[in-house]
Amino acid sequence: MKFHGTGRLLVATIAAGLLAGVGAVGFHYLADYLDDVLFSWVTAQKASSRLPFVLIVPTVGLFLIGWFLQKFPSSRIGGVREVLISIVHDGGIVPTIRILNVIMSGFVLAVGGSVGPEGPMVQLGAIVGSKCGQIFRLNKPQLQTLVRAGAAAGISSAFRSPAGGVLLTLEIFGARFNQDLTSVAIAAGLGYLVRTTILGDAYPFRPAHVPDTLPTFTLLLLIPLMGILAALAGHLFIRMFRKCEHILPEKWPLWLRVTVGGAMVGGMGIWFPQVLSAGYSTIRSSVNGEIGFTLLLLLLLMKMFATSVTFGSGAVGGLFAPTLVIGALFGGAFGFGFRALMPWAIPQPELFVLLGMIVMFGSIVKGYWSGLLMIADMSGCYHQLLLPGVIAGGISYMLSWQLDDKSIFELTQEPARRLGERLEKERLEKERLKKVSTVNS
């Protein structure tokens, strides 16, 4: 049977959604599972007991990763912003070599680097979408649509949120409310189904007890305040992220910078193991009310710094998960802090952990509606989160643009894109010299 036009796009969309979901499962076993095996026990140990492990594993692991990144510079290029550039400037052609960045990101996560799995899954989905589109010989607009669809499948399988995957594709990857958005939605739904069918982790942040709706006083006064403070906290993180781009001398070789960055993060992990890796266990502990106000506030600053150091040293990985952890810690500190001052206004401070992820997603990622839907999907608390999330998330999102006109992903992409341009120039120059040599001979 021959497929034409829309038929080819449909078949390619189904293939991309299914393969992106399978890729998300594979990445889970590469990064999340290995990370759990290495670090799940450390929080139960005393600092003296876990010192050798949490210091040596990130240091040695990131030394090996840094050596690979320096040996194969193209493995440093990837991430969410790179996907957008591939769509806008490269017509939907995502180089297969970008898979190296996905694999290296998984290993950085596994050895304790303060990165997340979602960004690499988005990159992986985009690669799958691009390859499926080329196999089915789609035209340029359709190929761009399929890359967005693959990215949406990666997002929805990473966050377990089909609606969030569609909305983030609208907010970040330039999708539009037209016929092509159907492909994005189909792929997002299939990616989600494959992930949750195999792994069964549809609601990673569901609270132990269903929270009640918030009092009117809280909605009118405290929720707007939370949005304002979230914009400021997100701006603090972005500034810290920028400062740490040059925390280590650029004249040092990359492997040394990445190794020192790993040692710094491992050193923090001796006393605060919650800052290591993606940090989803820290979110779950916060949602269940297992972390007090003082520790929440301290971990908030430590996680910001650990993430900034990890990326500033030259390591690769995703930023979605660190953003969610920072948001959860911020929301927990806000909720438990005001609970101590006015307990009648904050009956269940754990709810603010979920709200914190929404407002910080809007502030740091500049993803308002997608953050709202994703956290609602991941927790199952739609009714309790939608109204306060719309208010606080909207305020945080709007103020964040006034404080900084760039998403965090634009900061991570700038050096990588410059590297990519330099590598491309070097490749073209080698080809030119080779042709000249051939002609002369």
CB 390 within 8 A of CB 372: yes
Cα 370 vs. chain centroid, distance in angstroms? Answer: 13
CB 145 within 8 A of CB 153: no
The count of other CB atoms within 10 Å of the CB of residue 228 is: 14
Alpha-helix residue ranges (DSSP H) falling in 160-315? 162-172, 181-199, 216-217, 223-243, 254-271, 280-287, 293-312
Coil, helix or strand for 329? helix
The count of other CB atoms within 10 Å of the CB of residue 402 is: 9
**Per-block mean pLDDT, blocks of 10 residues, the chain (441 long):** 70 94 87 69 63 78 90 82 83 88 87 81 92 91 92 90 88 76 93 91 83 90 96 94 85 90 88 83 88 93 93 86 93 94 91 95 88 90 92 94 81 49 56 65 60
CB 316 within 8 A of CB 76: yes
Return the CATH number of the domain spanning residue range 216-416.
1.10.3080.10
The count of other CB atoms within 10 Å of the CB of residue 61 is: 21
Distance in angstroms (rounded) separating the CA atoms of residues 358 and 354: 7
* The pLDDT of residue 429: 62
* The pLDDT of residue 48: 62
Return the CATH number of the domain spanning residue range 6-199.
1.10.3080.10
Q: What is the pTM of this model?
A: 0.86
What residue spans define the domains of the chain?
6-199, 216-416
* 6-199 against 216-416: fold identical: yes
Q: Is 317 left (phi over 0), alpha (psi -120 to 50) or beta?
A: left
* The pLDDT of residue 435: 66
CB 107 within 8 A of CB 130: no
* The pLDDT of residue 126: 93
Among 281, 296, 288, which residue's Cα sits nearest to residue 350? 288
Give me the residues paired with residue 214 across strands: none
* The pLDDT of residue 86: 84
**DSSP structure string for 122-133:** HHHHHHHHHHHH
